[in-house]
Structure 1
Amino acid sequence: MTAKKLTNYEKTVVNDPHQQQSKKATKSVASKTTPPQYISYSVAHAIAGRIRFRIPLLAKDSEYADKLQRLIESDPKTTNVRINSSAASIVIHYQLGVVSDQQMRSHLVNLIQSAPNVAMPAPVTAKSVARAIFDALINLIDGTRNINKARTAIKHRQVRTNSWERVLSSAKTLIKGLKSAILFILPNKQWRSQSSSKDVGLERLALREAGAV
């Protein structure tokens, strides 16, 4: 039996170490790629304009519950969202006549699956607001000092410490001291919007009237 002769192209492929390493790297990356997390769910009850899902992850992951609620609340087709973490369920009210019930159900299922990928905004606290204000004042003073230094350098052909520089330097030191003192006093409590407080009130009222979700 005669051995098959390799063409020049086949010899190049066999003997090219860079191509072999590239294939190995591609296989390694493919093996390390993890599939997206599947969120288990079931439809507990559904009528026109209202649907209730049971999602076991709601009882285990408060971050996921918060992301899912914000994601669904931001949807223009929904009118009310209520989560009961202890019962691992979520009740969603949506507008009638916009899309069919089946389309809305499919849309909500997509939101349930995509909620883990939602980027949450940084929490707004009294400290974060105060820090931003003081940082802006300090940057303003630094910018004014730089302008003043440039002006004196042009006027006297050398950098001099004039009265404005001393005033601005003292003001910066004072503001830094106030910033440290106020940030030490202020609590870390997060601010909640009026709409969020209203949603919580509606949820409590509904739970009193209908019991647990």
Structure 2
Amino acid sequence: MASKKLSNSHERVLVNVERQQGKNTNKSLASTATPIPNISYSVVHAIPGRIRFRIPRLAKDSEYANKLQRLIESDARITNVRINFSAASIVINYQPKVISGEQMRSHLVNLIQTAPNIAIPAPVTAKTIAKAIFDALINLIDGTRNINKARTAIQHKEVKTDIWERILASAKSVIKGLKSAIVFILPNKQWRSSDKLPPSVRLDAQSQAAPI
């Protein structure tokens, strides 16, 4: 009996030791977890309808600057956004009659912190649209050629170059030539409208800045 009691007591001690070790491990993991960094900023000056921030990250992270500018521009109450990369600053003009300066400042600070987490779609230009159209036509021709090759192989027991294959191959060459010429001529101007932002981003930006 004495040996059983000692055995049970020994097992309880081991269990307590394991639990304590588990707690210590969890504490060490929590203490070593990397905190989410905040974007450093300061308000240089603010007057009704205009506010200027200094954000050191603007001078070294063009992707962040692009995201922040497009995110701020998606708000209909913003009238102008201008970034000075050398000074690492951004000037925002807004409609003071629509939203107070304090509310706008709070909204902009939130955008400064959340801008790195949004996904911005690739800029849309006339060239990208033309490329997409010509690529779709080329893929359609390639698919038709494959179907035609399979048909001739079934009929003749071998792959043959018939009249349709020659027509489709010539059409592909012509379309490739047109693609190169048109893409070269078209301007590379971006269409940067707030509607190009993801709907979730636009709604989130507008709802967070709604007057209280």
Distance across 2 between alignment mates of 1:182 and 1:59? 37
Contact 1:131/1:179 (8 A) holds in 2:
no
The alignment's C-alpha RMSD in Å is 4.2
Q: Which amino acid aligns with 1:112?
A: I
The 1:181/1:58 distance shift into structure 2, 3 A limit, reads closer
The 1:194/1:106 distance shift into structure 2, 3 A limit, reads closer
Pick aligned residue for 1:191 from 186, 189, 192: 189
1:87 match: 87
Q: For residues 35-74 of structure 1, what are the structure 2 equivalents within 5 Å? A: 35-74=35-74
Distance across 2 between alignment mates of 1:28 and 1:136? 55
- Residue correspondences, number: 182
Greater RCO structure (CA 8 Å; 6+ sep) = 2
2:119 match: 119
TM-superposition CA deviations, 1:74-132 (whole Å, max 9, x none): 12232221222233222212233544432221111010111222333324466544432
Q: Which amino acid aligns with 1:109?
A: V
Structure 1, 84-93 or 187-196: larger mean CA deviation: 187-196
Distance across 2 between alignment mates of 1:179 and 1:31? 61
The 1:30/1:127 distance shift into structure 2, 3 A limit, reads farther
Structure 1, 116-125 or 145-154: larger mean CA deviation: 145-154
Q: CA deviation at 1:71?
A: 1.1
TM-superposition CA deviations, 1:168-213 (whole Å, max 9, x none): 123224444x278549x838974234879xxxxxxxxxxxxxxxxx
The 1:175/1:27 distance shift into structure 2, 3 A limit, reads farther
Identity of aligned residues (%): 64
Distance across 2 between alignment mates of 1:194 and 1:123? 7
Contact 1:40/1:56 (8 A) holds in 2:
yes
TM-superposition CA deviations, 1:1-20 (whole Å, max 9, x none): x673426xx49x96xxxxx9
TM-score, normalized by length of structure 2? 0.62
Q: Which amino acid aligns with 2:119?
A: A
Distance across 2 between alignment mates of 1:83 and 1:95? 19
Distance across 2 between alignment mates of 1:166 and 1:130? 25
| Structure 1 runs not aligned, ≥5 long | 15-19, 197-213
Distance across 1 between alignment mates of 2:11 and 2:151? 78
- SS for the counterpart of 1:6 is helix
Q: CA deviation at 1:73?
A: 0.5
- SS for the counterpart of 2:46 is strand
- SS for the counterpart of 1:81 is strand
